[in-house]
């Protein structure tokens, strides 16, 4: 059945299918939606002259008239009564919006007719390579429809090219254009005109959806801020209407297929034959049902294609509004419900509270979560800096935490004033929280020194009070002297590191901060909060895409389809704190830096500072180690706000922390990656030693040559984490060499003994 028969004339409806719905034909749609694709100039006229040449007589002639339908092939939709309980939530589609949908779908039908014409041409035996190449290009272009501007530019370029060809033919400098190639160019011209028409059809979309979006609270907030978000809301309603139409068509097709299935299961016997209609009526009924099934299948295909085609535009509109609203968010001038709605937009991508957009319980959960924002800096050693998107943008823009690394500056504008301002700004913030951390470590060390002095004095008192003539005098005396000596050793170690912190580490941060402030004052380029907010909003889009495995879904629809409170899919701050604390208990040096490197692990002194853990407004399968912990960075980690299915958080965090561990070790290795005293160097050495072993031996140890070091390390680190409280036995029995390398740099939890063969 040709696709041109999609919109059908009224015919008789089979018995038993009396309840019908009328589908309007193109002639019944609003004529005002039809606009001219392009005003032809002289070059366009020349193009039409070249393209109207006839095809050769030895090939079958292929003709296509865009927009015309063969009435002999026109039939009718057979409508089936359908329950609306399973159709996407109540969105009453206005008549004008329905006309826009039908008109845009008709473009796909005409594009498919062009595709059929191309396929017929490609089957011709006398077709030249130039024509085949041009037709293949058109087919590739059809997979991703060009925008109206791209189509207009391509059409003008083709017209200019053909005008030149026509002039050369007229002057006798060139031969006439190959008729097959001319027809191929005609198909390209028609395809571009249809793309331009398709874009022009959407021009009254704002008016068609105004009744639905007029009272949206977030739209009113954006209007007060001077942010143009009407198109975002209009396209969101249009996409929802497409989904509703798809659901309706799918239900109706299922009903038709069910009826066809029942017709195939004929009953036998005299009564069944008497009640059965004549064979001709039965054949006619089946023919109409099969015809309607094909038509609904085409409609569903075109609806899904339209949804796929507009998704990039939806995503672009969303993140454009996100970027424009970020500087307004940083000003923190919103109170009450306005502030809650803005947080919901930045944290989860929530556009509307209407029933066609989100379930009421989901809206309630989101608004409850967004009622409060944590905007206070926490530089303490036991802090867990887990931030939602709105909190992160505000705190990174006002100088509380370091902003994200700008790859554009690092790669393309190095040593520019903006690059220097960015590095100095980051260094200034880094010195602040490092000095705070050093001071807290110093206070803790001074308390430990005081406790050791008291313990030593108490032990000295006990030693002096011992009775020399007592039978166990020597035993008690030696025991007390050993404890006193241990106190002296610990005191010496603590006093050395205390002196080093006071005279070196803290002073170094103070001097570095003063130097940085002086350089910033003399720098002409100034970083403003608005500029930083815009960069962080763009970074939010980038990391959200990474969490979704480089997919770029429309956030409001991802929220609607995947956000399920209470199912374990939502990565809230409370859930992440609980999970990260458990993982840090298994790897207690995960967020720590050794201040005094010594061989004996029990004598090492660590300083803990937690990386920034960002919850991005996305649905994803994976987290992302954004920045490692280096001299100027505490590190940065991102996780999606929710997952497509429950049970992914544990695996996500394991892989995420493995990458963070690896990147941090690599950053601390310096120039000599394999010769350094780091976890990365020790692990890479083990992998290098396994390179000559047989494949089954390597894979039994969990080492795969086709994967890089990071991917292999992730596998072994997860085994180590899972069995850390049992001495890391899973890794020990998987690969003992890797186990020995890890235990050297990742100490086992306190009280857990290292395993031995």
pLDDT, residue 598, reads 77
Give the neighbor-by-neighbor strand order of the sheet with 612-619: 386-388, 612-619, 636-642, 624-627
Mean per-residue pLDDT, 66-77? 34
pLDDT band at 70 (very low <50, low <70, confident <90, very high): very low
Using an 8 Å Cβ cutoff, are 652 and 682 in contact? no
% of the chain residues with pLDDT over 90: 46
Which region holds residue 9: left if phi is over 0, alpha if psi is between -120 and 50, else beta?
beta
Domains of the chain by residue range: 3-25+40-283, 335-404+528-658, 418-523, 669-757
User: Higher model confidence: residue 200 or residue 391?
Assistant: 391
C-alpha–C-alpha distance, residues 418 and 531, integer Å: 11
pLDDT at site 143: 85
Answer yes or no: is pLDDT of 73 > 70.
no
Helix axes 279-330, 389-397, angle to 10 degrees: 30
Tokens representing 286 are: 């089946």
How sure is the predictor about 440, in pLDDT bands with cuts at 50, 70 and 90?
Answer: very high
151 and 195 Cβ atoms separated by less than 8 Å = yes
Give the 3-state secondary structure of residue 518.
helix
Beta bridge partners, 592, equal 608
Instruction: Please compute the mean of the pLDDT values over residues 276-298 and round it to a whole number.
Output: 82
pLDDT digits (tens, 9 = 90+) for 707-741: 988 899 999 999 999 999 999 999 999 999 999 99
| pLDDT above 80: residue 688 | yes
The candidate with the shortest Cα–Cα distance to 255, out of 79, 53, 54, is 79
Closest CA to 445 of 496, 378, 385: 496
Short-list 340, 337, 356, CA closest to 348 = 340
CA distance 724 to 224: 55
Of 637-646, 672-681, 745-754, the range with the lowest mean pLDDT is: 672-681
Q: Which of 199-203, 244-248, 397-401 has the lowest mean pLDDT?
A: 199-203
What is the pLDDT at residue 278?
Answer: 66
Q: Hey, what are 51's tokens?
A: 């393209």
Q: What is the pLDDT of residues 450-467, one digit of tens each?
A: 999 999 999 999 988 888
Instruction: State pLDDT tens for residues 598-649.
Output: 777 778 888 888 899 999 999 988 999 888 888 778 889 999 999 988 888 9
Q: If pLDDT is split at 50, 70 and 90, which confidence band does 471 have?
A: confident
**Chain center to CA of 586:** 30
Average pLDDT over residues 684-696: 90
Residue 228 has pLDDT above 70, yes or no: yes
At 589, give phi and psi (nearest 5°).
-100, 15
- pLDDT tens digits for 489-521? 989 989 999 999 999 999 999 999 999 999 999
Rounded mean pLDDT of 413-432? 90
Predicted local confidence at residue 88, as pLDDT = 54
Using CA atoms, how far apart are residues 249 and 101, in angstroms rounded to an integer? 14
List pLDDT tens digits, range 9-47: 223 223 333 332 323 333 333 333 333 333 334 444 445
On average, the pLDDT of the chain sits at 83
Neighbour-count burial for 528-552, b at 16+ CB within 10 Å, e otherwise: ebebbbbbbbbbbbbbbbbbbeeeb
> 612 has which bridge partners?
636
Q: What is the pLDDT of residue 699?
A: 92
Instruction: Provide mean pLDDT across the span 580-609.
Output: 86
Long-range CB pairs of 336-341, under 8 A, 24+ apart, other chains included: 337/217, 338/217, 338/221, 339/373, 340/367, 340/370, 340/371, 341/217, 341/218, 341/221, 341/367, 341/370
Rounded CA separation 289/268 (Å): 22
Predicted pLDDT at 51: 54
Residue with the larger pLDDT of the pair 291 and 202? 291
271 versus 429: which is more confidently predicted? 429
Q: What would the mean pLDDT of 170-181 be, rounded to a whole number?
A: 84
Residue 81: pLDDT over 60: no
CA distances from 733 to 53, 716, 729, 739 (A): 77, 11, 6, 9
Averaged pLDDT, 512-537: 91
The pLDDT value recorded for residue 276 is 55
- C-alpha dist (Å) from residue 700 to 163, 542, 696, 703, 739: 68, 37, 6, 7, 14
Residue 415: Cβ within 10 Å count: 7
The tokens for 479 are 């025991």
Cα distance between residue 215 and residue 472, in whole Å: 89
Residue 158: alpha-carbon gap to chain centroid:
38
């Amino acid at each position: 059945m040709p696709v041109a028969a999609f919109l059908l004339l009224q015919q008789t409806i089979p018995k038993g299918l009396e309840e019908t719905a009328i589908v309007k034909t193109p002639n019944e749609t609003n004529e005002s939606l039809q606009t001219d694709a392009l005003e032809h100039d002289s070059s366009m006229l020349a193009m039409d002259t070249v393209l109207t040449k006839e095809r050769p007589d030895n090939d079958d002639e292929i003709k296509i008239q865009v927009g015309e339908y063969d009435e002999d092939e026109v039939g009718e939709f057979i409508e089936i009564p359908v329950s609306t309980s399973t159709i996407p939530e109540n969105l009453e589609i206005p008549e004008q919006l329905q006309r826009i949908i039908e008109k845009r779908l008709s473009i796909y039908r005409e594009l498919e007719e062009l595709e059929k014409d191309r396929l017929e041409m490609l089957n011709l035996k006398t077709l030249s390579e130039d024509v085949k190449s041009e037709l293949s290009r058109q087919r590739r272009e059809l997979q991703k429809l060009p925008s109206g501007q791209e189509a207009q530019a391509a059409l003008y370029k083709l017209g200019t090219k053909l005008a030149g060809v026509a002039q050369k033919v007229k002057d006798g400098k060139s031969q006439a254009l190959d008729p097959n190639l001319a027809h191929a160019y005609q198909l390209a011209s028609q395809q571009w005109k249809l793309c331009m028409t398709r874009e022009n059809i959407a021009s009254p979309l704002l008016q068609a959806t105004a009744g639905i979006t007029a009272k949206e609270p977030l739209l009113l907030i954006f209007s007060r801020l001077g942010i143009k978000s009407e198109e975002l809301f209009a396209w969101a309603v249009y996409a929802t209407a497409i989904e509703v139409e798809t659901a309706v068509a799918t239900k109706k097709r299922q009903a038709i297929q069910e009826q066809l299935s029942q017709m195939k299961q004929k009953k036998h016997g005299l009564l069944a034959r008497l009640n059965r209609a004549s064979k001709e009526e039965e054949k006619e009924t089946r023919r109409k049902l099969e015809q309607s099934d094909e038509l609904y299948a085409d409609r569903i295909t075109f609806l899904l294609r339209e949804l796929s085609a507009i998704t990039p535009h939806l995503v672009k509109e969303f993140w454009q509004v996100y970027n424009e609203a970020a500087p307004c968010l940083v000003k923190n001038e919103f109170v009450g419900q306005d502030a809650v709605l803005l947080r919901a937009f930045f944290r989860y991508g929530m556009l509307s509270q209407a029933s066609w957009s989100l379930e009421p319980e989901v809206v309630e959960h989101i608004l409850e979560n967004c009622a409060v924002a944590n905007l206070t800096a926490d530089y303490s050693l036991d802090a867990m800096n887990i931030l939602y998107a709105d909190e992160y943008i505000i705190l990174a823009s006002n100088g509380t935490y370091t902003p994200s690394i700008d790859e554009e500056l690092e790669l393309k504008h190095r040593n520019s004033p903006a690059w220097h301002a960015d590095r100095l700004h980051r260094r200034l913030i880094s010195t602040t929280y490092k000095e705070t951390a050093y001071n807290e470590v110093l206070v803790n060390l001074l308390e430990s020194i005081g406790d050791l002095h008291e313990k030593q004095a108490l032990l000295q008192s006990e030693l002096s009070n011992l009775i020399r003539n007592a039978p166990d005098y020597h035993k008690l005396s030696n025991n007390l002297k050993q404890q006193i000596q241990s106190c002296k050793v610990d005191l010496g170690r603590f006093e050395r590191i205390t002196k080093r912190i006071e005279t070196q580490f803290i002073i170094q941060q103070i001097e570095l901060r003063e130097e940085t402030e002086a350089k910033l004052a003399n720098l002409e380029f100034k970083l403003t909060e608005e500029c930083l907010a815009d960069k962080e909003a763009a970074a939010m889009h980038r990391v959200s895409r990474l969490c979704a495995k480089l997919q770029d879904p429309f956030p409001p629809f991802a929220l609607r389809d995947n956000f399920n409170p209470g199912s374990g899919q939502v990565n809230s701050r409370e859930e992440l704190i609980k999970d990260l604390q458990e993982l840090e208990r298994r790897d207690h040096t995960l967020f720590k830096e050794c201040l005094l490197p010594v061989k004996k692990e029990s004598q090492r002194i660590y300083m803990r500072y937690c990386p920034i853990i960002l919850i991005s407004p996305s649905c994803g399968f994976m987290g992302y180690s954004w920045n490692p912990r280096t001299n100027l960075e505490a590190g940065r980690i991102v996780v999606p706000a929710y997952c497509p299915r429950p049970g992914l958080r544990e695996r996500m965090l394991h892989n995420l922390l493995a990458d963070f561990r690896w990147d941090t070790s690599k950053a601390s290795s310096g120039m000599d990656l394999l010769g350094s005293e780091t976890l990365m160097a020790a692990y890479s050495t083990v992998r290098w030693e396994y390179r000559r072993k047989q494949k089954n031996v390597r894979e039994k140890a969990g080492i795969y040559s086709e994967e890089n070091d990071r991917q292999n390390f992730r596998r072994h680190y997860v085994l180590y984490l899972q069995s850390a409280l049992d001495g890391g036995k899973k890794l020990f029995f998987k690969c003992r060499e890797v186990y020995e390398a890890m235990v050297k740099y990742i100490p086992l939890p306190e009280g857990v003994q290292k395993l031995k063969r």
